[in-house]
Chains A and B, each alone.
Chain A
Amino acid sequence: GNSVTQMEGPVTLSEEAFLTINCTYTATGYPSLFWYVQYPGEGLQLLLKATKADDKGSNKGFEATYRKETTSFHLEKGSVQVSDSAVYFCALTTSGGSYIPTFGRGTSLIVHP
């Protein structure tokens, strides 16, 4: 079956620090990969996605590259802001799963001024 593993949080950084949140996956077939963000008290928002190997998804300064050889999709940002404090979820979908996302457990990011 499909599964997503994320690094445990919380990740605590100072403003302008470099961010990496690790995500690895197992999947049958050829998955599409996603990062969602959940701000306090809100639902999930799609942050970025990649649909095939070596694709790079990017949005709002965040980036992630689909690495088939290492089954990874690590999230990075060069300079975080306090407003980036949220919970980040890595997810995947496969056509065999009717495109229902399988989510990781989430990684909490706390950015201090």
Chain B
Amino acid sequence: ETGVTQSPTHLIKTRGQQVTLRCSSQSGHNTVSWYQQALGQGPQFIFQYYREEENGRGNFPPRFSGLQFPNYSSELNVNALELDDSALYLCASSTESYEQYFGPGTRLTVT
């Protein structure tokens, strides 16, 4: 059984640019959630997708957007990057139950 994978591992962008992060969910999981983890903090919920529809959103501006594809993989897009967007971005997949399985994360640095 393949676990949750994310790409890329690390990324450096310039303020104002746009970025796309990718996540492949664990086999059999139809729900994907994205989290932002700033240095020294716990993960903060960005949004969740269930069967290709957004199923909940945290306190993040609209420049954070996402997609889920028919194979349940997902993308997180961030427009107009700001310095404070520098963080570890975590993807987690699950079924309708509440147990989430996390990927290793993408480390984004905005300069």
Contact = CB atoms under 8 A, between A and B. Distances in A.
Contacts of B44: 103
B48 A100 contact: yes
Given A43-B104, A99-B98, A89 B42 contact: yes
A98 B105 contact: no
A9 B50 CA distance: 36
Contacts of A104: 42
Interface of B: 4, 6, 33, 40-45, 48, 55-56, 58, 90, 92, 94, 97-105
Contacts of A45: 102
- Size class of A's contact patch? 20 to 34
B33 to A, nearest CB: 7
B31 to A, nearest CB: 9
A88 B94 CA distance: 21
Given A100-B48, A105-B41, A106-B41, A43 B90 contact: yes
B88 to A, nearest CB: 8
A41 to B, nearest CB: 8
Contacts of B99: 46, 49
A105 B40 contact: yes
Contact of A103 (B4, B43, B56, B105): B43
Contacts of B42: 4, 89, 91, 103-106
